């Protein structure tokens, strides 16, 4: 059985509570739990790049400039990779993989990506994946997606790294998909911590999809502007469970092993 675990960490999980600096505690403990059986899909390049730019220049970039996100992301990528490398177990190699929607919508590119990720596990290396915001413009992406839709019924957009992580999990036939966020999981009432849904399970895929749809009616809000929040995470969870992958949604403040051992709060979605 494939024991691979795909882990996704969100942008806001990597910065401190004030939003003005990197949360080194989260990055260090996350990095220490990475091994040859894990793939990390990381957001945060643009956020970290923005913080670094402000630190060095005393002001933000003009966000009316269409390229500001690319500029921040290219600055933040090196910082994130250096941090993961610094805190990772030195016996493992670290390999950065930047992807775009085209790598999932083209059969040959999907196979090339799969081969790269499989070799990481075989060669004692950890793949750290991010969407290639540095050179991917929103205008070009939308145009390319529209052209693909004219040819195919289903198109992977990679509109955020939750989707990217789900696609990676399905591509590699991962055992589990772990989505790390600021919250401890999915709530029936986001204002009441006691309503955390610790387990969502069923005997069949169809029954579980129905339960996920019902849970989505309780979801609203997101951790940052432009994010789709819990609703979108559950939408991607449907695709994962349809492909036989367990989904866990948990807080980035916890150790990976503690989450997997169910010794800390989380939402676990799986077929019995």
Claim to verify: residue 79 and residue 212 sit in the same structural domain: no
Residues 28 and 125 in one domain: yes
Element spanning 46, H or E: helix 45-57
Whether 198 and 161 map to the same domain: the answer is no
Calculated CA dihedral for residues 7, 110, 270, 197, nearest 10 degrees: 50
Alpha-carbon distance 130 to 9, whole Å?
A: 10
State whether 5 and 117 are in the same domain. Answer: yes
Full DSSP string of 157-210: ---SHHHHHHHHHHHTT-SEEEEEESSSS-BSSTT-GGGB--EEEESSHHHHHH
Q: Are the C-beta atoms of 34 and 92 separated by less than 8 Å?
A: yes
Measured CA to CA, the distance from residue 224 to residue 28 in angstroms comes to: 23
Predicted structure pTM score: 0.90
243 contacts 170 by C-beta, under 8 angstroms = yes
Query: Is 179 a member of any domain?
Result: no
Count: domains in the chain: 2
Among 116, 141, 174, give the residue marking a domain's end.
174
Q: Is residue 180 part of a domain?
A: no
Cα(88)–Cα(104) distance, rounded to whole angstroms? 28
DSSP classification of residue 115? H
Beta carbons within 10 angstroms of residue 198's beta carbon: 12
List per-residue pLDDT tens for the chain, 272 residues long.
Answer: 479 999 999 999 999 989 899 999 999 999 999 999 999 999 999 999 999 999 999 999 988 887 888 999 999 999 999 999 999 999 999 999 999 888 888 899 999 999 999 999 999 999 999 988 777 666 555 666 666 676 766 777 777 899 999 999 999 999 999 999 999 999 999 889 999 999 999 999 999 999 999 999 988 654 433 344 899 999 999 999 999 999 999 999 999 999 999 999 999 999 99
Distance CA 127, CA 171 (A): 14
Q: Are 129 and 97 in contact, with CB atoms under 8 Å apart?
A: yes
Q: Give the distance from CA 94 to its chain's centroid.
A: 17
């Amino acid at each position: 059985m494939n024991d691979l675990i795909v882990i996704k960490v969100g942008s806001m999980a990597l910065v401190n509570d004030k939003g003005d600096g990197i949360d080194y505690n989260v990055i260090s403990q996350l990095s220490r739990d990475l091994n040859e059986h894990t793939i990390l899909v990381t957001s945060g390049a643009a956020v970290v790049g923005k913080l670094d730019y402000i630190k060095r220049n005393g002001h933000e970039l003009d966000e009316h400039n269409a390229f500001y996100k690319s500029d921040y992301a290219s600055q933040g990528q090196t910082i994130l990779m250096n941090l993961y490398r610094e805190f990772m177990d030195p016996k493992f190699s670290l390999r950065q993989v930047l992807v775009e929607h085209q790598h999932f919508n083209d059969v040959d590119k999907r196979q090339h990506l799969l081969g790269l990720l499989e070799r990481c596990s075989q060669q004692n290396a950890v793949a750290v994946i991010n969407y290639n915001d540095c050179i991917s413009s929103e205008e070009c992406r939308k145009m390319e997606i529209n052209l693909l839709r004219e040819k195919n019924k289903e198109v992977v957009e990679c509109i955020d790294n939750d989707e990217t992580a789900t696609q990676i999990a399905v591509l590699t036939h991962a055992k589990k998909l772990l989505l790390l966020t600021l919250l401890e999981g999915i709530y029936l009432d986001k204002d009441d911590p006691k309503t955390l849904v610790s387990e969502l399970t069923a005997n069949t895929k169809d029954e579980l999809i129905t339960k996920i749809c019902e849970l989505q009616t309780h979801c609203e809000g997101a951790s940052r502007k432009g994010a789709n929040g819990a609703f979108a995470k559950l939408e991607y969870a449907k695709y994962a469970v349809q492909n036989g992958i367990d989904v866990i949604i948990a807080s980035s403040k916890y150790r990976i092993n503690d989450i997997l051992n169910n010794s800390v709060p989380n939402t676990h979605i799986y077929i019995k």
